[in-house]
Amino acid sequence: MNTGEQILRLLVIAFAVPAIAAPIVYLRGRRLAGIFYNSICPLLFLAGSALTNLLTGPPSRYTAGGVLFFAAQGLALAACVAALCLRSPHPALFWPAWTVNIGTFALLFYLSFFFRIF
């Protein structure tokens, strides 16, 4: 197992906690705490990607799918920041970002444990 695989597996484990805790906290009435937990996932994703690029070097090519994957994380983070800036956050800012986070978690879980990408 090389460095990229180790980082990806740690990232998946760290991703699970806020991705699962965010809707639980949000539905119990603590809206801002749920949105804060929801914003941790895109930050972890972007930080893990930056760390992987620093340790393994930049990718040899960029694809549209990869760029859209980063754009989705950026939009999820922007929705969470916008919701945190409001006094009464709207659910439309929470649930799409959470959906992106769960989709990212599922994809990263599959890639790290069932598929060899490095």
Span 65-108, pLDDT tens digits: 878 888 999 999 999 999 889 877 788 889 999 999 999 889 88
CB-CB neighbours of 25 under 10 Å: 18
The answer to whether the beta carbons of residues 44 and 15 sit under 8 Å apart is yes
Claim: this prediction has a pTM higher than 0.85: no
Strand, helix or coil at 8?
A: helix
Q: Which residue has the tokens 């919701």?
A: 83
Helix 91-113 vs helix 31-56: crossing angle, to nearest 10 = 40
pLDDT at 50: 82
Angle at 99 between CA 96 and CA 104, to 5 degrees: 130
Span 20-62, pLDDT tens digits: 999 999 999 898 899 999 999 999 888 888 887 888 787 788 8
